[in-house]
Structure 1
Amino acid sequence: MLSKLFRHEARQKSEHSKRLYAQFEILYTLVDFLAAAFFIVGSVFFFYESLMIAGTWFFLFGSFLFAAKPTIRLVREVKLYRLGDDEDLAARLDR
């Protein structure tokens, strides 16, 4: 299975796979943008002692968003893989 993940062909197999790929790319970009925004706000907050605790929370949330990015990519690739290999997956489930 791992050799078939992250293959470009899976992204273009059908209209459904193209749409799924595009949706995950939008989600990935949104998470990337939000993580960057959280880090920028956290950085600005660190200039003010009264906002340092809030800044720390922004850094923490930004870190979680950055950690979500590889998860989003992996989920996308597994879904694309499953779209292209339904028969193979069904055969493995019957064993």
Structure 2
Amino acid sequence: MKTLSAMLFGASLLLAGAAQADTLRIPVGEQAGTAQTTLPQRGASFDSVSARWGEPTRRHAAVGQPPITRWDYPGFSVYFEYNKVIDAVRQHKAP
């Protein structure tokens, strides 16, 4: 019986060693790589965004109350509440 217990204990140690993995942590600010695109700042107006970045590739109609509008540009999207930027986010690119 001691031999069976010793074998099971040894097997569990081998399996535990094989199940280890490394964790790769990349800080959020470094995830986009070195080619960073400047994004519109919170509070900017429709006019200032279109003056700096041009016409969006797609404009989504306003939804909800207060109305939230999204403009898509190559690589990022801009969200407006009424006519002011509330957020701008980079679009995920699959590797």
TM-score (norm 1): 0.25
Q: TM-score, normalised by structure 2?
A: 0.25
Larger RCO (CA within 8 A; separation ≥ 6): 1
Tell which structure's C-alpha radius of gyration is larger. 2
Between structures 1 and 2, the one with greater helix share = 1
